[in-house]
Amino acid sequence: MILDRFAVFGQRLFRAPATGRPAGIFITHVLNDRIQAHFDRLCRETREIMDWRLVHNPWTLSDLVAGRGEVEIDESSARVRQAMKNERLQMGYMDIVLFPLARSANREFVWVLEYDVDFAGRWLDFFQQFSSNDADLLTTTINTRRRDPRWTFWDSANGPCRKSLFTRAFLPIMRVSRRLLDVYEEALSTGEWSGHYEFLVPTIARARGLRIEDIGGSGPFVPWRRRRRNYLNRAKDPYLSPGTFVWRPSMTAYFHEDDTAFTQRAMLYHPIKADVVEWRA
């Protein structure tokens, strides 16, 4: 069950299916004036093509189990049991929050955006690139285990498919299809899949014959027309650095606050920590 709490811009709510118009989930575990202003810019610049919902949700399992979040979790599910053993959503279990939220939008395609992602330009220009794209998963830094065997979380990755299909991604921004949401839920219900959600999401999609594409960058899943567009990073580096879309180091200001810090325009940037303390693995 998703609690009935919406952040509204332009009086748009997720009231009914609108398959021709994508929705967006903007998720944050901290809410302050700077993050709110960042969200307002996102809504203002995309209101002609998208509907957004802001979700302020805790990133601790104890809060979710106690019913203090916007997602009511099923403690009996195999995936939630895995997360409860781990005790930290940030270590690979954010899917138990993000995917129910995406399903609640009731759209054919849903963007999921974490609060610390920004775009050095008009958000409308970014999202319009994908208006006619029907990939089931759009995200960043998609790579196979063969090409990136030293990824930190391969040891926990397990699933009933060929190891040649084992794939990872970096998911602070992603777009998922209704079909992927259905396939993902069904796959996890078997109890045969486990590991970091950055492994599970692209790998389950590939194993079930769905189409995945990289938003940009220079990896093997990016179409040539988007090669080295939208973001840059070094996929095999533990911090994904250097680049615009990395795990660390953090930036301290959003684009609308200080555009001089964004040296490459028309690029996604991550992470921006606006009065938010970094967490460490």
Q: What are the backbone angles phi and psi of residue 127, rounded to the nearest 5°?
A: -70, -30
C-alpha span between 4 and 6 (Å, rounded) = 7
Measured CA distances, 75 to 64, 71, 78, 96 (Å): 10, 12, 8, 11
Q: How confident is the model at residue 64 (pLDDT cuts 50, 70, 90)?
A: confident
Q: Tokens 């748009």, residue?
A: 12
pTM of the model: 0.91
pLDDT digits (tens, 9 = 90+) for 139-159: 999 999 999 999 999 999 999
Q: What is the DSSP string of 39-106?
A: HHHHHHHHTTT-EEEEEE----HHHHHTT-SSB---TTSHHHHHHHHH--GGGTTTHHHHHHHHHHT-
Rounded to whole angstroms, the Cα distance separating 260 from 251 reads 12
Domains, in order of start, for the chain: 23-269 (3.90.550)
Task: Report the C-alpha gap between 119 and 15 in whole angstroms.
Answer: 28
Residue 264, token pair as written in the block? 């490459």
Distance CA(192)–CA(158), nearest Å, equals 8
Between 5 and 158, where is the model more confident?
158
Confidence of residue 69 (pLDDT cuts 50, 70, 90): confident
Q: Mapping DSSP to helix (H, G, I), strand (E, B) and coil, where does residue 248 land?
A: coil
Per-residue pLDDT, averaged over 67-79, amounts to 75
Task: Provide mean pLDDT across the span 251-268.
Answer: 97
From the number of C-beta atoms within 10 Å of its C-beta (0-12, 13-18, 19+), residue 133 rates as: middle
State the pLDDT at residue 273. Answer: 96
Model pLDDT for residues 189-214, shown as the tens digit of each residue: 999 999 999 999 999 999 999 999 99
pLDDT band for 90, please (50, 70, 90 cuts). Answer: low
The total of other beta-carbon atoms located within 10 Å of residue 278's CB is 10
Residue length of the chain: 281
